Each structure stands twice: as C-alpha cells, then as structure tokens.
Amino acid sequence: MRILLAEDEVTIHITLRDALEDAGHEVLHAPDTASALALLDSARPDVVLTDIRMPGEGGMAVLRRAIELDPRRPVVLMTGYGTIDQAVEAMRIGAVNYVQKPFRNESIVQMVGTFSRVRDLEAENAELRAQLSAATPMPDFVGTSDAMRAVFERIRTVARNDATVLIEGESGTGKERVAQALHRSSPRAERPFVAISCAALPETLLEAELFGHERGAFTDARREKKGRFELADGGTIFLDDIDDMPLAMQVKLLRVLQERKFERLGGETTRSLDIRVVAATKVNLRELVRAGKFREDLFYRINVVPIVLPPLRERPGDVPLLVAHMLERHGGGRTFRVSPATMAALERYPWPGNVRELENAVQRAIALCEPAGESGRAELALGDLVPLDPRWRGATEVAEPVRPLREVLKEAERRHIERALEKTGGHRSQTADLLGISRKVLWEKMRDHGMLAQDEASE
C-alpha cells in the first residue's frame, strides 16, 4: 500500500519507514503539516499515519483533510501526549485508530496489513458486484452457469407469445420467479399475474378457488365470488404444484386449457377467457402419467414449452454470486466477509432445499454474526451458516480444520477485550469494571495479547 507517514521525529520516521518498506509497502514521508497536506492532494495515499504534534497545524488538520478527500481511507493518529478526550475527538472525525508513543513498529505493520486485507476484500467485493450485475440479465435472477443462461434465453424467447409453459424443478429452485419473469417480459405485463398453489387447498375448495362460485352454490356462499382464472383474465395464471392436483379437477382444467371457457361453481353461464397459463411441478410428470396419477392428455396440453430449472448442486459456481446478492439484500447496510474456506464448503454442500435453503442459511448467519471488528466487516462463521444436517459433515471437514481450543479461546478473549476498550474509549479502569476483572488482570491480559506499547509491556 502507499502510506503517508507524517512524522517530524527522525528516529521514529526512519525505523517505522524501514519496517513498513520491509513489509512491501511504499512510504511517503512528510516532516510537517504543510507537506503532509500537499502529499494528500498529489499522491493519494492508501493509508495515513500522522503524528498529532508536528510543525504547522498538526495531525488533526491532516486527519480532517484526509477524511474530506476520502472518507474510506484509514487514518491512524500517533502521539506521545494523548488524552482520552483527544482520542475520542479523533475517532469522531474519522480516525480508525489512535496509537500512543512509544509503540512497537510490528504493531503498526500488522495494523497496516489489516488495512491491506480489507482493501483487497473490497476490491473482491466490487468484482463480485460487477459479476453479479453481469449475471443478472433478468430481474430477481442471479447466475452465470450455462444452465441458468439457457433458462434466461428460454424465458426471453417464450415470453413473446402465449404458449403454455411447464416449469420443472425441485423445491426452492425459483419456479414462481420464472413465471413472474415470463409475465413481466410478455405483452401481458400490464395485466394481472395470479398465482395459486394446487397443493395448498383441499379438493373441495380448489374448484371454487380456481373457477369462482355463484351465490348459494354451497352453504357458506353468501355472495358470488370470482375465481383465480377470472381474476387473471387478460393476464397470466400460474398453477404451482400442478402435480398435486386431484384427477377430477384435472378433467375440468383440461377443458379450460382447450376451449378457454369455464363456468363458476353453481352457475350455468359459460364465460370466456383471454389468458396465458404457466404451470409448475416439483416432480417428473411423465412418471405420474405412467403411474396413472396424472392425465396424459393434460400433460401434453401444459407441456407445450418446458423450462427446466437446474438444482443448486448442479451450478455450484453460482453460489458466491447468490451469497453476495443475499448479503446485500438482507444485510441491513452491514458489510460481511465470507472466508475462502467457508465459501468452498458452501459450494460443496448439495443444498437439497436449493436457493431457498441457501437464503435461509444466509439470513440465519446474519442474525447470529458477531459485530464487525477492526476491519469493519463482520465475519460469517461456517457454524452460523450450516444447518444441523449430517450432509454438512463432508462439506465442512476439508474447509474448516479443527483448531486447538486454547488458540480459539485466546483469539476470542482478545476480540472481546478490544470491543470493551472501544466501548469505553480506551479507559482501562472502566474496561476492567465492564469485564468484571481487576485493572491488574486486564493489564496482564493486554500484555499477553500484545496490546501494550513496548515500554509498558516490558515493565
């Protein structure tokens, strides 16, 4: 990274510059405020490390100008004369950290390394967003796989005419979204889109829901009611789970598809329809036909143009794009990181519930995710994403090797102390009270975790 080091003390400047350059960074030195402000405008550094007290207006002026030019640029203030009030003010303006001298150069190098990783993640995220945009040729769809591109092309082709469409796909693959896309892309887009699940209603109610009823047609029919076909007149009707439609109802549906005419339940008036029919099934209708559970003539009537949706396990390359889309949709403005190992596990998992199951996993992970740390991004843990399903075992064993418990606990303790210090503005007595430990124990833990300045840690 290109780093602006605004520091007038020669010793600190030389040693810190050497440490940063040894780590592979480019360092621009400014010995006073004026030269620091000039380099901010001309060199556009990625990170700013500035002393508070130096010739000119000082580091707070550098901080304000750096944030004004780029609010996302990390700015770290260094001082040997700091106060809590000054630190709080710096954080309020936009500094990401406030370091007291003397400090260990290694801690600054480590901090800059974190900034570098965040920048790389943001670049990766921007690339994913670009891919996501390119992979969304139709609203509400995400995917770059050949199978999904074939689906998008079929939708565009079929939408122009009124041919009946049968959408085949496992539960959770997005069959209703395909039906909606067909409607939106068709000349009927301004007319109604009406959906009904044939599995959601018992046979005694399904006929009235589909075709409507006249007043007095049955006991509770106190007034006439339009059915779904009539409500969709001029537009599109979507018959979901048509494989669950009873055989007796299949006969009546066949007549509607053949003649585009129907009668309300309890009525004698034949009504005509101008309608497009889209049906969906989660099972193979051909097998139901062979088993005598679905009428062969109805199958040929609805299977004019088939659209087959691939299960998610057959397009694992679309999983990162789907995850990015879902995090943006459900994240509430927060930013998240998914490690390569976790993403690899998500791509390996078979997803029996398909996109719906993946979305459920992402929403659960967002709800369970720890607050964002120093990087500004919350880490989505694999344990929050995966369901309690033995099929995850094969996906996760390779992706997430088991770490020693001592290492995990130590890492969690450090993160917890850092959050407590942030909450108290760095006030150690208040932090110790908040954590329920003595100030001495807090000091010892900060020393063990390398969170103290060099001279303080050696006491």
* Domain locations in the chain as residue ranges: 2-116, 146-310, 313-401, 407-457
Domains 2-116 and 146-310 share a fold: yes
Class of domain 407-457: mainly alpha
Give the CB-side neighbour count of residue 213, counting CA atoms within 13 A. 17
Kindly compute the dihedral angle of the four CA atoms of residues 224, 228, 232, 233, in this order, to the nearest 10 degrees: -50
Pairing verdict, β 261-263 and 270-272: antiparallel
Task: Give me the mean pLDDT over the 369-384 stretch.
Answer: 66
Task: Give me the mean pLDDT over the 54-73 stretch.
Answer: 88
Hey, how many other C-beta atoms are within 10 angstroms of the C-beta on 263?
15
Q: What gap in Å lies between CA 11 and CA 325, rounded to an integer?
A: 49
Hey, how many other C-beta atoms are within 10 angstroms of the C-beta on 239?
23
> In this predicted structure, what is the pLDDT of residue 139?
58
Which three-class secondary structure state does DSSP give residue 35? helix
> In this predicted structure, what is the pLDDT of residue 87?
75
Which three-class secondary structure state does DSSP give residue 223? coil
CATH of domain 2-116: 3.40.50.2300
H helix or E strand, kind and range, residue 431: helix 428-435
Reported as a single tens digit per residue, the pLDDT across 163-193 is 999 999 999 999 999 999 999 989 999 999 9
> In this predicted structure, what is the pLDDT of residue 168?
96
Whether residue 287 has pLDDT greater than 90: yes
16-25, 113-122, 145-154: range with lowest mean pLDDT: 113-122
Non-local (6+) Cβ contacts of 421 within 8 A are 428, 431
4-18, 58-72, 177-191, 380-394: range with lowest mean pLDDT: 380-394
> Could you give phi then psi for residue 196, rounded to 5 degrees?
-145, 140
Q: What gap in Å lies between CA 308 and CA 280, rounded to an integer?
A: 10
Whether cis (ω within 30° of 0) applies to the bond prior to 404 is no
> In this predicted structure, what is the pLDDT of residue 132?
54
Beta bridge mates, 78: 51, 99
Whether residue 27 has pLDDT greater than 50: yes
Which three-class secondary structure state does DSSP give residue 261? strand
Structure-model confidence comparison of residues 250 and 92, the more confident one: 250
Band of pLDDT at residue 398, cut at 50, 70 and 90: very low
Hey, how many other C-beta atoms are within 10 angstroms of the C-beta on 427?
15
Reported as a single tens digit per residue, the pLDDT across 244-269 is 999 989 998 998 999 999 888 888 88
DSSP readout, 101-151?
SS--HHHHHHHHHHHHHHHHHHHHHHHHHHHHHHT-SSTT----SHHHHHH
- CATH architecture of the domain 313-401 equals Orthogonal Bundle (1.10)
Band of pLDDT at residue 220, cut at 50, 70 and 90: confident
Using a 10 angstrom Cβ sphere, with 0-12 exposed, 13-18 middle and 19 or more buried, the burial of residue 91 is middle
Task: Give me the mean pLDDT over the 81-107 stretch.
Answer: 81
Q: Which amino acid is at 413?
A: E
Task: Give me the mean pLDDT over the 69-88 stretch.
Answer: 81
Hey, how many other C-beta atoms are within 10 angstroms of the C-beta on 30?
26
Band of pLDDT at residue 458, cut at 50, 70 and 90: low
Non-local (6+) Cβ contacts of 123 within 8 A are none
Instruction: Say what angle helices 392-399 and 340-348 make with each other, to 10 degrees.
Output: 150
- Of 342, 329, 319, 411, which Cα lies nearest the Cα of 373? 411
> In this predicted structure, what is the pLDDT of residue 131?
59
Task: Give me the mean pLDDT over the 322-335 stretch.
Answer: 86
Q: What gap in Å lies between CA 31 and CA 437, rounded to an integer?
A: 42
Whether residue 375 has pLDDT greater than 60: no
Q: What gap in Å lies between CA 35 and CA 33, rounded to an integer?
A: 6
**CATH number for domain 146-310, candidates 3.30.365.10, 3.30.70.920, 1.10.10.10, 3.40.50.300:** 3.40.50.300
Cβ atoms of 210 and 229 closer than 8 Å: yes
Handedness of CA 436, 441, 445, 447 (dihedral sign): positive
- In the block, tokens 């592979």 appear at 24
Q: What gap in Å lies between CA 18 and CA 25, rounded to an integer?
A: 10
33-47, 147-161, 396-410: range with lowest mean pLDDT: 396-410
Greatest C-alpha distance within the chain:
99
- Of 122, 126, 121, 148, which Cα lies nearest the Cα of 137? 148
Instruction: Say what angle helices 146-158 and 175-184 make with each other, to 10 degrees.
Output: 40
